[in-house]
Structure 1
Amino acid sequence: MTQVGEGQEAEESAPSVMTFGAPTVGEILAERYELVEHINDDSAGRQVWRGVDVILRRPVAVVLRHPGGDSATEMLQAAVAASRVIHPNLAGVYDAIDEAERAYVVREWVDGRSLRELTAEGPLDPARATSIGHSVASALAAVHATGMVHGNVHPGTVMISDDGRVVLADARTDGADSQESDLRAVGGVLYYALTGHWPHGEAPLHGATAGHGRAVIPDAVRDANGGLAAPRQIRAGVPAYLDDLTMDLLDRQIPPPSSDVLTAELGRLEVPADEQYLEQAGPLRFTADNEDERTPLSPAGGRKVVLGIAGLLVVALVGLLIGVTTLRGDDDPGGQAANPTSPAASDDAPAPAPAAVRALKLGPDQVRVIDPDSKARDEFDGIEKVVDGDQDEAWQTDGYYNAKFSNLKGGMGILIDLKQPQTVKSVEALLSNRGATGQIYVGTADHPSTSAGDKALVEAFKSKQIGPTLENHGAKMVFDGFEADQKYQYLLFWVTDLPEIDAGKYKLIVQEITVQVQ
């Protein structure tokens, strides 16, 4: 397994690692972190150890640099900044210590492999590559939301744990880094996962010297002019929309989307393998417009194809109108065919078109937490964030030690009041992690916001469940079993199993709830 800060083994040109005062197995740093096993040396001349926090009795990764002091400033500053961002796809940073003769960062230990190691066995299938890209983009969105930059995104710092969790480790910012370079690197991660080649070659995105930490990754396939070969040109089976999205992110002539937009787009494309046949639409294409909002384009042909099709549709529509006008003038002088109230037309009049499906705008007063088994009722803050339209803001429960709320409660939920009976098409809950189990129940009345009121509400609502229970489900839960001839006002999104957000830690984080009505 790789636990290296740079994600790479040391190269021949790498700085020499520490010799004087080198750590040894069994040594305890800061009276807390016991060194258990030297894993390897990274390309920045740092030693990486597997260790144990002897106080909390948990495994940790320890990254040591010799000497400390001014030469370790960047490493320590990056670690301190990273420690302020908590996200399931970011490696947790626990400590950063400068002892002058050496400095070290203590972070989460990830049991698993780096993307570099995983892809060494062969390119990944498109669904797996999309899932990894989505996780990396989601982690960057959390970092960028604070105004910070990661600055070290590549196949060695993307970790895939044994339980499938994707973790981005070892932020390392310097003056050359930017949020744009982070986003270009997501394109590189997608390209690498799909092809096994790193598209940035000897010109890293992060301002490092040629080959620094990345030269051992195979360069991309290029034409005689140095142009990058698209993933679909290298291997079969890469969907056109994923190929286009990857190449757009790598094209410096096309401004990348923001990290939250990219996260949402990759999340939309992240379809389970057994449901991929349902996903026919390609993604948004990010174009070099100067407009504030980028125009959605066809996944296969881009803007010119869309404009061409639009022109043909206009011509066809004009022709159709002319034809209808001509027929009315020749064969229907009284205009009866155009009069739906005339006797001749009423018998064959088409049925009225169904109302359009739309997302209902919900206000903060239309959602509240249902927690019947809690006396403290202290997990209610921030519930308005599930309907604020911002996926970077979320409501979350406390942390629990197992998926069943540590056996403290039977579940928690969110009550949605539509204010009046509505024809509901679907309810979508966007979570931060996979693994939750949830249901949708409906009822006819609200209850007091007390423990007793919540118990009465759950008891009343559980007699009417909409659709199946979604067990151990993905991050996007969609409930669409509503009856078309019924109207609903009160909906209860109920969760009985929490997703695991960290080793041994379970928490429900709801980013957004959307109700589609007709």
Structure 2
Amino acid sequence: MTQVGEGQDADETTPPLMTFGAPTAGEVLAERYELVEHINNDSAGRLVWRGVDVVLRRPVAVVLRYPGGDSATEMLQAAVAASRVIHPNLVGVYDAIDEADRAYVVREWVDGQSLRELVSDGPLDAARATAVGNAVASALAAVHATGMVHGNVHPGTVMISDDGRVVLADARTDGADSQDSDVRAVGGILYFGMTGYWPHAEVPLRGAQAGHGRAAIPDAVRDADGGLAAPRQVRAGVPAYLDDLTMDLVDATIAPPPSDVLAAELARLDVPAEDEYLDSSGPLRFAAETGEEPSPLAAAGGRKVALGVAGLLAVALVGLLVGITTLGGDDPGPQANPVAAPSSAAPGGEDTPAAPVVRNLKIADARIIDPDSRDRAEVRDADKVHDGDQDEGWSTQTYRGAGNFGNYKRGMGVWIDLGAEHTVKSVQVNLTDRGASAELLHGTIDAPSSNAGDDQILTAYQKSRIGQPFEDHDGTTMTFNGFDADKKYRYLLFWLTELPPTDGGFKIGVQEITVQGS
């Protein structure tokens, strides 16, 4: 959750309250910053408060950690470094104080929401995603010009104010990041903006906007070998040039361009709507004229994405010739962009149908399958695996052994009913811990929720596995992609066979299951 609501002025007649440790509403820090409302706790254990600077009478955000001292050194150092860089796309840092019992950073309050929250209502169109990426790249260029690294670029730290301003917040400096990793994260921002999925699965979400506990951003769709699906494979309407740029930025095998070069390239694509070089009603907007120098990304040595100005204009002109229509809303249909989903005439005169749009499918029902249970105590809370809240889910009990649930059960699983037959692209399962073994099965029968009914489902479904099973999986996300494009699916079974070790035994929790298809 990001900052919401309006700031308020402090009551000057209220005396300051000086306490230490856990903060309380109404308390005044450093005789200046009144705490008004607790907003959230981030994944690093810091508390985010909405506050008021009672001296300048302006709203502020207070990021607080207790105790202070050594445990807060990194937070304070990052804040001091960030305060030296002034840029319209960076959140302003006003103060950084260590009181030993606690430490806190006071920064600009932004009325609005994070990119993460914005995209939860649906992916952005290409133009808006480009504008957000341009703002982030510009902010990073200012940071990198000083020799520093931001180190915390993700959809939770990219904030969009109510007036449309895009700002980057909550830098960190733990030495594990580089300017290159900052630039790659811009590719992640573009990817997330257009698809709603985060391509950097290995990068944990941190910072004051990261959210609570396990509420991680869904990992991107991947094939059986872990290969990343391109944005155009996830949804229609993504222009080829932006798809290529995004994929090259997130590709760890390709050296990224400097942040100022990337900012210049994105600025060239993100031009005002009244730009005279291309009709503003189209989704492709470029600022270049014929005869300009090649794209700075091309000069920097990028591969297919480093398009020169002439190439970009060629794409724009083709779009105009075929009649680019307005890219409406955040979820364009398959015909919204001729670059992504063309309709071409077949030899017989008929139009070739556009590819179906891949989307999250609604799970109509879910049930815990436990054929070897004695008391059916673990079949509750199945609805929590598809409620959209990754802070809650279903969990097994604690067992004494890993394999076959301590040799007590063949396994347990989550049965899913999509409500009707669908073409399925992938199934993503978010778990609480690493080290589990599981597989995805499918079938055509339903049965009552009982030991006998569960056994009937397991017996029937075991003949039909989707893709390859995961053995002692080293991550907390399992993605199954081996679906037959010519088949329709309604009933799926996520089947656990081995539990990871936890304190005092072996157990696992399933926080959320996401099914993508059409």
Closer/same/farther in 2, CA of residues 278 and 173 from structure 1, 3 Å limit: closer
Q: One-letter code of the match for 1:186?
A: V
- Helix, strand or coil: the match of 2:160? strand
Aligned residue for 2:140? 140
Q: Contact conserved, 2:91 with 2:108, CA < 8 A, in 1?
A: yes
Closer/same/farther in 2, CA of residues 54 and 198 from structure 1, 3 Å limit: same
**Unpaired segments of 5 or more residues in structure 1?**
5-18, 288-292, 306-518
Q: What are the Cα deviations for residues 423-459 of structure 1, in whole angstroms up to 9, with x where unaligned? A: xxxxxxxxxxxxxxxxxxxxxxxxxxxxxxxxxxxxx
Q: Contact conserved, 1:127 with 1:272, CA < 8 A, in 2?
A: no
- Helix, strand or coil: the match of 2:86? coil
Closer/same/farther in 2, CA of residues 284 and 119 from structure 1, 3 Å limit: same
| Shift of residue 271, structure 1, vs aligned partner | 3.1
Distance 1:262 1:196 in 2: 22
Q: Contact conserved, 2:188 with 2:200, CA < 8 A, in 1?
A: yes
Closer/same/farther in 2, CA of residues 94 and 114 from structure 1, 3 Å limit: same
Aligned residue for 2:219? 219
Aligned residue for 1:174? 174
Distance 2:214 2:242 in 1: 24
Q: Contact conserved, 1:185 with 1:205, CA < 8 A, in 2?
A: no
Distance 1:202 1:68 in 2: 29
Distance 1:31 1:139 in 2: 32
Q: One-letter code of the match for 2:147?
A: G
Distance 1:301 1:74 in 2: 40
1:294 is aligned, of 300, 308, 333, to 300
Q: Contact conserved, 1:254 with 1:286, CA < 8 A, in 2?
A: no
1:153 aligns with 2:159: no
Which protein has the bigger helix share?
Answer: 1
Within 5 Å, give how 1:78-117 maps onto structure 2. 78-117=78-117
Within 5 Å, give how 1:111-126 maps onto structure 2. 111-126=111-126
Closer/same/farther in 2, CA of residues 98 and 238 from structure 1, 3 Å limit: same
**RCO higher in 1 or 2 (8 Å CA, sep ≥ 6)?**
2
Normalised TM-score (structure 1) = 0.51
Closer/same/farther in 2, CA of residues 298 and 137 from structure 1, 3 Å limit: same
| Shift of residue 50, structure 1, vs aligned partner | 0.3
Aligned residue for 1:73? 73
Give the count of matched residue pairs. Answer: 282
Closer/same/farther in 2, CA of residues 213 and 270 from structure 1, 3 Å limit: farther
CA RMSD of aligned residues (A): 3.1
Q: What are the Cα deviations for residues 371-428 of structure 1, in whole angstroms up to 9, with x where unaligned? A: xxxxxxxxxxxxxxxxxxxxxxxxxxxxxxxxxxxxxxxxxxxxxxxxxxxxxxxxxx
- Helix, strand or coil: the match of 2:241? helix
Distance 2:225 2:304 in 1: 28
Aligned residue for 1:54? 54
Closer/same/farther in 2, CA of residues 298 and 171 from structure 1, 3 Å limit: closer
Closer/same/farther in 2, CA of residues 190 and 142 from structure 1, 3 Å limit: same
Q: One-letter code of the match for 1:294?
A: A
Return the index of the structure with the highest Cα Rg.
Answer: 1
Q: Contact conserved, 2:270 with 2:285, CA < 8 A, in 1?
A: no
- Helix, strand or coil: the match of 1:40? strand
Q: What are the Cα deviations for residues 131-190 of structure 1, in whole angstroms up to 9, with x where unaligned? A: 000000000000000000000000000000000000100001111110001001000000
Closer/same/farther in 2, CA of residues 28 and 226 from structure 1, 3 Å limit: same
Q: What are the Cα deviations for residues 457-512 of structure 1, in whole angstroms up to 9, with x where unaligned? A: xxxxxxxxxxxxxxxxxxxxxxxxxxxxxxxxxxxxxxxxxxxxxxxxxxxxxxxx
Q: What are the Cα deviations for residues 106-145 of structure 1, in whole angstroms up to 9, with x where unaligned? A: 0000000000000000100000000000000000000000
* Identity across the alignment (%): 79
Within 5 Å, give how 1:77-476 maps onto structure 2. 77-204=77-204, 216-272=216-272, 275=280, 276=282, 279=286, 284=295, 293-295=299-301
Aligned residue for 1:423? none
Aligned residue for 1:25? 25
- Helix, strand or coil: the match of 1:147? coil
Q: Contact conserved, 1:32 with 1:54, CA < 8 A, in 2?
A: yes
Within 5 Å, give how 1:491-506 maps onto structure 2. none
Closer/same/farther in 2, CA of residues 94 and 206 from structure 1, 3 Å limit: closer
**Unpaired segments of 5 or more residues in structure 2?**
5-18, 274-278, 312-518
Distance 2:195 2:186 in 1: 14
Normalised TM-score (structure 2) = 0.51
